[in-house]
Amino acid sequence: MFLPRSNGLYSFSSEGIFRFYGFESTVSLPSPTDAVSKLYVDSENRLWCFFEKGEVKRFSNFRIGGNIVGGEIHTVVLPLRSVVPIIGDMDVKTVKWFYNSISGQLMYWENPNLDNTITELPGAASGIPLHSMAISSANRQQSDMMTFVFQDGIKTYRGTELINSVSITLDKVKAAITSNNGDLWLATSQGVIQYTGTEVIRFTIANGFLVDDIRDVHEDHWGNVWFATWGGGVVRYDGNSFQSITTKYGLIHNNVSSIHSTTGKDIWFGTEGGATQYRASLGALPLCRIVSVNAGKTFTEPFNLESSMRTFTEIEELLPARIKGITISYQGINPLRDDVNYKFRLLGTDDWTEHTITSNVKRININPQKGERTSQDYTSDEIGTSKSLPEIHFEGLKSGNYTFLIKAFREGWPYTQHPAVLNFTIDQPIWSRWRKFLPTIIFVAAVGSLLFRLIVNRRQTAQLRLEMEEKEEAEMIRIRTELNEAQNIQMGLLPTEPPNLPTFDIAGMSIPATQVGGDFFDYLTVENGQTAIAVADAAGKGIRGAMNAVLTNGMLHEVARFKSDADVILSDLNAGLAPRMYGPSFIALNLAILNETEKKIDYANGGQPYPILKRGTEIIEIENSDLPLGSMQNVQYESVTFDIGEGDFLIFHSDGLIEALNANHDMYGTERLTNLLANIPDDCSADEMIQLIVDDVQDFVQEEEQYDDLTIVVVKHVEESG
């Protein structure tokens, strides 16, 4: 075994301990009595050697002012036998704690320079510690403190004084961290353990975790604590709540063993199925969920980590007409842990105004009938602590059907998550029903048959009004359901990962806008085994666009099984789509077939924007286009074949990119895109190219809402690895 130091290279072997200096002089250290099991260098540059037979020696006088010492190296046989040093998980300069493997007790050496300061603490240990943590003055306002994790409890000492002790049953600690606030987090097969310095909190399946087997724990740049679970994906704790991320949300596998961060603030998850990258700039849109509603009694749903990504959506029972008000508690889920704002609206009143509130608002009171609005902010004492959930309180609501919508948004980001929606109905009071019919009865008695006809007409009018209201409500529900189904269908068409080709780096992204469109892209294999890329835009919104997208995607894969040319595939696909399109519609589609052997691309275009070839600073539009698919039945599409050299980029995009609008209703445009591409360095990857384009579009549109999807696929020809 070798130990490099500034004053030479030390060699430890069965023949002795030697120091090599400048490969010219050698100093022999006293030979050990047995093998060295552990080495440690303290803050005074003294070497501690722990031997397998229990002896402990300390070597000093290695160097004086950087020069070789002429005399012998000082050796001290320490009054320690059969001990294991306990260093902790922080940068501790002096070892003061040891575990005696013979007596099974902890030992504390107050001053390592004095032999008589060693104290054994009977009963302090229940076996060798599973984990230890040295506590610095930065997080606990104390020094010389150490926390030990045993199989039956956790203890904290200041010197030899026991500060805190809690009982807990543990088997094995698989990973541990000390978070920025000083809490100790342990990953075990029995769940997550949080030790605050005074108490222990265990999080398991009973608290909403999907599994109890925790493999790793990690704190990211923003202070979120992440947990890797075996079978339940990863779990993020933002200081207030836990949220799970599984394969449903893009994780490649739910068996996760490790978590790592990069200097660029990206997070990597090591799973049984490979690695998954979490990029905050793409996956950090804030989410708002409705937690509970108080309307005389509290309405909510049982919490678990899966439901933390959803929202309470409907109060099924009728609310009594006598309620004084309705209080809605909501929660913002923000991976970046910065300030976010909220927009909300109550449909069903005469005032459909959209209100905006900031994250420091604790409660807002609104009376739509009187047009009154007041708010209450969190106090300075509540800021920075575990705040209570913010609330929106409505007063003076009349009987009727209501829909409450709220969404979280970040300033400067044009895209948001879908709003949280809550539906509820307030029943009519009994006295108002009697008052409605009593004057009619009196009037009928006085006027006779003439008023009877009038009553019939009024009833018919009321019935028609009620039917219209029911139809409007049913239509709203149908539209909301259709949009949700269309969104799920569209997202289901997108591939989970790009094809792994030795000479092509491929990446794709589709960002949905505020309305559901019909954009999708896919990777497929044609009849001769070559890889093809399709980028499509189905005309129409909602379920019609989604159904056309599904139809096109399925038929495209089927045609590609038997054809290998881009023009033939589009011609056959169009012939099959034209009589089967869902309603009067069409599909715009790009198709490119990658020839890895000849480094060529066979390309055909059915109504999509021209793809762009970036060759260094030269930008070339591939001007080839025919009619969109499905518009006419008998169309023979044409293809072009062109070379793609090493380092060239081929960029496909939907019209949602060049038609993105800013607040002045100016389009992003092809010219801005080509200028951007010309200035992007050639050494960036396909994924980095997409991110640069998306960032530039966001800078252009700012906060303006977008009504068309943004889809980009980038192909880069790279050098084939050896």
For the segment 249-305, what is each residue's pLDDT rounded down to a tens digit?
778 999 999 999 887 678 899 999 999 888 765 556 677 788 888 888 888 765 554
Low-confidence ranges of the chain (pLDDT < 50): 64-70, 90, 137-142, 305, 307-308
Residue 294's CATH number: 2.60.40.10
- The pLDDT, as a whole number, for residue 204 is 87
Domain region containing 26: 1-81
Query: Do 403 and 509 fall within a single domain?
Result: no
Statement to judge: residues 392 and 519 lie in one domain: no
653 and 552 part of one domain: yes
Q: Are residues 529 and 612 in the same domain?
A: yes
Number of domains in the chain: 3
What are the backbone dihedrals phi and psi of residue 587, each rounded to the nearest 5 degrees, phi first? -130, 125
Select from 36, 64, 81 the last residue of a domain: 81
CA 194 to chain centre: 22
The answer to whether residue 103 sits within a structural domain is: no
Is 231 a member of any domain? no
Contacts of 402 (CB under 8 A, 6+ apart): 346, 347, 348, 349, 423, 424, 425, 426
In a domain, 442, yes or no: no
At 142 the pLDDT is 43
* 410 and 526 co-located in one domain: no
Q: Are residues 400 and 545 in the same domain?
A: no
Query: Which residue, 513, 515, 533, is CA-closest to 525?
Result: 533
State pTM to two decimals: 0.45
Q: Which of 126, 62, 54 is nearest to 85 (CA)?
A: 54
User: How many angstroms from the chain centroid is the CA of residue 308?
Assistant: 13
510 and 405 in a common domain: no
Last residue of a domain, one of 23, 49, 81: 81
Is residue 560 domain-shared with residue 642, that is, in the same domain? yes
Q: How far apart are CA 510 and CA 3, in angstroms?
A: 53
In a domain, 220, yes or no: no
Q: Are residues 541 and 690 in the same domain?
A: yes
Same domain, 422 and 499: no
Residue 241 lies in a domain: no
pLDDT at 64: 41
Asked which of 428, 451, 484 is the last residue of a domain, the reply is: 428
The answer as to whether 187 is a domain residue is: no
**The pair of three-digit structure tokens given for residue 559, joined into one six-digit string:** 């045609």
Tell how strand 391-395 and strand 361-367 pair up. parallel
Q: What is the per-residue pLDDT for 583? A: 62
Which CATH number belongs to the domain containing residue 584 in this structure? Answer: 3.60.40.10
Do 373 and 498 share a structural domain?
no
254 lies in some domain = no
Query: 3-state class of 483 per DSSP?
Result: helix
Starting at the edge strand that comes first in sequence, how are the strands of the sheet with 242-245 ordered?
Answer: 214-219, 225-229, 234-237, 242-245
Residue with tokens 């286009």: 625
Distance, CA of 96 to chain centre? 41
- Retrieve residue 99's tokens: 């575990």
- Confirm whether 483 is domain-assigned: no
Closest to 710 measured CA to CA, from 505, 521, 581: 521
511 shares a domain with 634: yes
